[in-house]
Structure 1
């Protein structure tokens, strides 16, 4: 299959680089500056397994000459409109769009742009960052990409794409991709809400008076929303989440908190606001999530005012 990956940043660059290394037909859609850097220095990846410098195919939007079999989208939610504009020339009648964004809100946007029949479900588990010099650094061992059909008619094409991805990366094809997306979403909503609200990693929160109870109550809100929407977390997933979010020694926090500390844009509505709406639509109260979301919206308002002032 002929693959196009939007961007050569942390996530797209990591997975795309490993696919290219395995001989998969991969092209990166990038801005002119990044294209020049890749041509000059190669795609550089550092991981616990070692360092790689790869020569990869990279193009800009005006160089898209024909449709691709699949386009992988790993941007942040606040860049989605720009991403849609960038990849539109690469979408043909049988092209697949594989988004790796967190949450669910982006699916409606992509369906409207390209038609539901083209848009798969997807997610990834990876801790990776893009350094100022363009190097992609993997921060842990875990690096999986999960994809799947949202419609029965997509299953053959999704299976073919999975086989292609599995040549170079740890690719997972679950029976129910929406359930898999909820399994990740309820957890990261709790992690982002708690660590951003408290501006602290998990352990610092848990060691505070009533900290563990707060973390558990917030996780329960998120789990209840997933359940009432028809996707209760698997028992082992819920056990892992509770253990993770009540670990007194944990120094981990959500990537959203790192974005806040840098003064960067955040996915407040995509990850927290939308899960609240899906809970309220089912008549649920979400008091802790509401407070966390208010905190995130206040940050976004302050950031916007600072930029305009």
Structure 2
């Protein structure tokens, strides 16, 4: 399969790397020192299953995406609209897009631009980071449920699932990917915002009684928003999130924390702002989320001089 990776950071770099290693033709869109390192020595993947160097086309020219079968859309949510607008006049009409971003609002933007039938989505269960330019470090077992936005069977979606499984990434077809993404959003909003504010990994949040209690309050508010929207999530998922984090993610530095430490913009709007706004619209009270949203926004404005 001919695949483009829009945003070859930790998520895009890892999945693009294993797909390239499995024999797919992969074009990586990146920039800066990360791009230069990949051009010079390929993309180094340090994973739980071993280390390898992936080859591919490494570029900052978005026109290189013409003629591809699938785009892994992995840019930060803050860049979704601008990158989608650039791709709109470049991609072939047959090219499909797989959303691999945090949050659940990116699908709406991409559906408006490309049509709902061309957009697939997944919840990316992955612990990875850019160790240094050109090197992705990953641990644990990545998992990818993949599905359409309209809950219909899709032969191409099944083909994408097969391609990922062939590359060694556990993948399966989901008949309700939006519900699955909401479950992932609950995980992210439980740990990402707090970790970014206090600069702590997941284990530190779990071990501190006050931080853990605050994380639980955030989680419950987000769950109530989902419930009011008609998203069918079992209440026991809340405790399962904490149990799973204890087992698999204690040493994990969240993506929002990684962004803050690197001086990059954080995905505040997709993870916090969206839930606050939906809460206001649906008349669901979210006082802890609102406080976290204000604090993070202030931190970002001060540190990035916005």
TM-score normalised according to structure 2 size = 0.86
Shift in Å, 1:25: 3.0
The separation in 2 between residues aligned to 1:131 and 1:79, in whole angstroms, is 22
Check conservation: 1:64, 1:89, Cα contact below 8 A: no
Matches within 5 A, 1:71-150: 71-138=71-138, 140-150=139-149
Shift in Å, 1:69: 1.7
| Aligned position for 1:193 | 193
SS at match of 1:93: coil
Moved more, 61-70 or 293-302: 61-70
Alpha-carbon deviations, 1:216-251, whole Å to 9, x = none? 32221122222222224345532222446789x955
Aligned CA distance change for structure 1 residues 44 and 297 (closer, same or farther; 3 Å): same
Shift in Å, 1:2: 2.3
Aligned CA distance change for structure 1 residues 5 and 133 (closer, same or farther; 3 Å): closer
Shift in Å, 1:32: 8.4
Shift in Å, 1:100: 0.6
Shift in Å, 1:80: 2.0
Check conservation: 1:121, 1:147, Cα contact below 8 A: yes
The separation in 1 between residues aligned to 2:129 and 2:251, in whole angstroms, is 17
Check conservation: 2:187, 2:241, Cα contact below 8 A: yes
Gaps spanning 5+ residues in structure 1: where?
none
Alpha-carbon deviations, 1:53-92, whole Å to 9, x = none? 2322334426537432211111111222342245335422
Check conservation: 2:65, 2:91, Cα contact below 8 A: no
Shift in Å, 1:178: 0.4
The separation in 1 between residues aligned to 2:185 and 2:203, in whole angstroms, is 21
| Aligned position for 2:289 | 289
What count of residue pairs does the alignment treat as equivalent?
A: 304
Which protein has the larger Cα radius of gyration, Structure 1 or Structure 2?
1
The separation in 2 between residues aligned to 1:207 and 1:72, in whole angstroms, is 35
| Aligned position for 2:58 | 58
Alpha-carbon deviations, 1:35-69, whole Å to 9, x = none? 65434312211122221023223344265374322
Shift in Å, 1:147: 1.8
Moved more, 142-151 or 206-215: 206-215
The separation in 1 between residues aligned to 2:297 and 2:144, in whole angstroms, is 30
Tell me if 1:166 matches 2:186. Answer: no
Shift in Å, 1:275: 1.5
Gaps spanning 5+ residues in structure 2: where?
none
Check conservation: 1:147, 1:177, Cα contact below 8 A: yes
| Aligned position for 2:273 | 273
Root-mean-square deviation over aligned CA pairs: 2.9
